[in-house]
Amino acid sequence: MDIKILMICLGNICRSPMAEGIMKAKIKEQKLKWQVDSAGTSSWHAGDKPDKRAIAISKANGVDISDQRSRAFTPADFSEYNVIFVMDESNQRDIVEMALTERQGKRVKLLLEYAEMDMKSVPDPFYGEEKGFQATFDLLNEACEKALLKLKAEYAD
């Protein structure tokens, strides 16, 4: 079964682009035909590349996100994606509010909670320094690894 995953954060320039890039790399390594995209709850950065610090940290860790462009989540995304991972509870509330059905709302999951991590929210590194981006990358890398294992078990053919 082909799975489509959507990663969501506020502006779609830091956390969700890194999560998209990491998950794509892991899916490619495992030779799965799944798809991953990302979006933001806002359209503030629509059409922009990810934050230069997110691009640099991702590249330093072997993940290229430089070709991504920010876009805002739309209600049409509910019918396009099997799983919608959000980075924090604010993102979760914003996306669930757009759901037209209970089934759509249940597709929205906190990434760290789904991955059974100790935290619920991925810290937003935007207003911090570069080391915050590395910490966020490391957290997302671990969460994506755990989430992928869980997804593979849930969506096994």
Active-site option among 14, 15, 37, 51? 15
Cα–Cα distance, 122 to 32 (Å, whole number): 26
Cα–Cα distance, 157 to 152 (Å, whole number): 9
Helix (H) or strand (E) holding 86: strand 83-86
Distance of CA 106 to the CA centre of its chain: 16
Active-site option among 37, 51, 88, 124? 124
Cα–Cα distance, 12 to 85 (Å, whole number): 13
Active-site option among 9, 51, 53, 77? 9
Is 67 tagged catalytic?
A: no
Is 9 tagged catalytic?
A: yes
Neighbouring CB atoms inside 10 A of 138's CB total: 12
- Output DSSP code: residue 39: E
Cα–Cα distance, 3 to 120 (Å, whole number): 24
Q: How, if at all, do strands 35-40 and 108-110 pair?
A: unpaired
Is 48 tagged catalytic?
A: no
Residues involved in catalysis? 9, 15, 124
